[in-house]
Structure 1
């Protein structure tokens, strides 16, 4: 399980602190603390007065470690592509907002409910960059020179490894890459150094809630084995 010290380190440490040379050479602004780019697979329950999108975007449940203690974990790490540029970096409730601020986040919230993945650490492999969307990021990555691309990928790999160091995660813990682009980028960075698999991204167009629920249920069994009664 996650400790209060680990939780508070993520709230305080800037994502570029471990790669100052990248920030300096690329004139990148401070990326903000890890908590601006990561979160936990914990969401508010939907009720008659709290509809799916609002429930998934309600971050009050993430406000304090004491609300999450014993529930959040690193048994599995969920990774998506791009944390995006903060719309309002001075907003008080920005911490842990990623995966809890979009119109399709409730797909993931519903699909993970009742699984052993629930409570997992969630992050994006590219952090602190000015690109707003995954499409913007992929376009920019494609425009980089070979040297610039290698520098960016190495910096993001170092940042990810720092996250795992903070959380005490080694190379054996299971990482789930959400989406083809995430998996491709993660594979390019790590080349088998970590234990990772691919799953459908919850924003994929055309996938039904039922199909996504079934995929996450199957993923749960794949990662943890069947539950015996």
Structure 2
């Protein structure tokens, strides 16, 4: 009888490393129109906002992986995205949510994953209104979604085999809406499609990563997600 594999097993066995050149390309993403300050990595220093860990490309690159992407809904720091240094997203000094994400991911198979948002270069504090803006055409999806999505994929050599893990229900809704509208390829691997019927977390299917901004134990959420059975 074969051994049942989990998402954690899959991520450990299929790690795709990031070269120094690719990391340097990710640093330049912050200045690209359509990406803004969205691009970052799931690694943190001793303090949540310590960006010095990204200064030495040769030292940080081996800690990163590009086969999995953790993706949020929107750039929520507010203001002009050009004002923020590279990799600042998800590394805010006073963000309790970012601290929870750091604590939950550090030391797991998700550490080092690429971090970004679906809607880029479009600062907004509340992501809940984004589906309505997309449906009404108020939000230019070619400019604020597709352009940055393609730029990130090209810079890091990502493909349709790259596994995207949505963080939060709004992110999942946005992703499916954009796929339905042809903005994001339907063939792109997304966690809640690839891993559908695994174990439960708090009596709910583990179909995506719960959002760290809410009242959720992120350590348990990440552990539950990684325990999801690999159904591919």
Fold in common (TM above 0.5)? yes
Counterpart for residue 42 of structure 2 = 41
**How far apart in 1 are the matches of 2:58 and 2:24?**
12
Counterpart for residue 154 of structure 1 = 142
Q: Deviations over 1:14-36 (max 9, x none)?
A: 4326xxxxxxxxxxxxx64xxx3
Q: Which consecutive unaligned segments of at least 5 residues does structure 2 have?
A: 1-16, 181-185, 192-207
> How far apart are residue 115 of structure 1 and its match?
1.0
Counterpart for residue 109 of structure 1 = 102
Does 2:20 align with 1:4? yes
Instruction: Tell me the TM-score normalised to structure 2 length.
Output: 0.71
**How far apart in 1 are the matches of 2:104 and 2:87?**
19
Does 2:17 align with 1:16? no
Q: Are the aligned partners of 1:42 and 1:119 in contact in 2 as well (CA < 8 Å)?
A: yes
Does 2:190 align with 1:199? no
**How far apart in 2 are the matches of 1:158 and 1:90?**
20
Does 2:86 align with 1:95? yes
Counterpart for residue 142 of structure 1 = 132
Aligned length: 189
**How far apart in 2 are the matches of 1:11 and 1:37?**
11
Task: Classify 1:7/1:154 alpha carbon distance in 2 versus 1 (closer, same or farther; 3 Å).
Answer: same
Task: Classify 1:112/1:90 alpha carbon distance in 2 versus 1 (closer, same or farther; 3 Å).
Answer: closer
Matches within 5 A, 1:28-67: 32=36, 36-45=37-46, 55-67=47-59
Whichever structure has more helix as a proportion of its residues is: 1
* Structure 1 stretches of at least 4 aligned residues deviating more than 6 Å after TM superposition: none
Counterpart for residue 170 of structure 1 = 159
Counterpart for residue 125 of structure 1 = 118
Q: Are the aligned partners of 1:157 and 1:189 in contact in 2 as well (CA < 8 Å)?
A: no
**How far apart in 2 are the matches of 1:89 and 1:153?**
20
Q: Deviations over 1:89-143 (max 9, x none)?
A: 456xx210111002321111111122111010000111112x331x1x5436635
CA RMSD for the aligned pairs? 2.6
Task: Classify 1:174/1:90 alpha carbon distance in 2 versus 1 (closer, same or farther; 3 Å).
Answer: closer
